[in-house]
Amino acid sequence: MNRQGRWSLRKWAFGPSLQHREIDTLPRMTYVIGRACVDVMDKSCVLECPVDCIYEGARSVYINPDECVDCGACKPICRMDAIYYETDLPTDQHQHLADNAAFFSETLPGRDGPLGSPGGAANVGPLRVDTQLVSALPPRGS
């Protein structure tokens, strides 16, 4: 981890030249909720999480990277297959890595400051707000 609290992730793409390509330096995360959860919010993962680190927005749920203990209980229970370990996130969903972290580190519309780590989703309840990325996605089924 560097001084800004970020991990430098590398993804190895083995081809004829056996070279690697570097992914941007991304916020520290463990598990990430991807696009398949937007407008569905099955919430089976919320019930399964032993540390209550999955928070409810308006159109998606978000895993708090500082509260997640990396147990993986959320991943197999997700009926939408929307949860990935950070290094398994499909290339077309890499923006969700920074987006999940932004839910906690940036001031969202209608809030006075960043959510941070309030010590569990039950302490704050549904937040009824989303990140800029999720808010900008077209509604499912449209």
How many CA atoms does the CB half-sphere of 80 hold within 13 Å?
18
Averages of pLDDT over each 10 residues, the chain, 142 residues: 38 34 50 95 93 97 94 95 94 93 94 95 95 94 68
Q: Where are the domains of the chain?
A: 26-125
- Angle, vertex CA 99, rays to CA 94 and CA 105, nearest 5: 140
107 burial level (CB within 10 Å; 0-12, 13-18, 19+): exposed
pLDDT for the residue numbered 142: 62
Domain 26-125 has CATH 3.40.640.10: no
| pTM score of the predicted model | 0.79
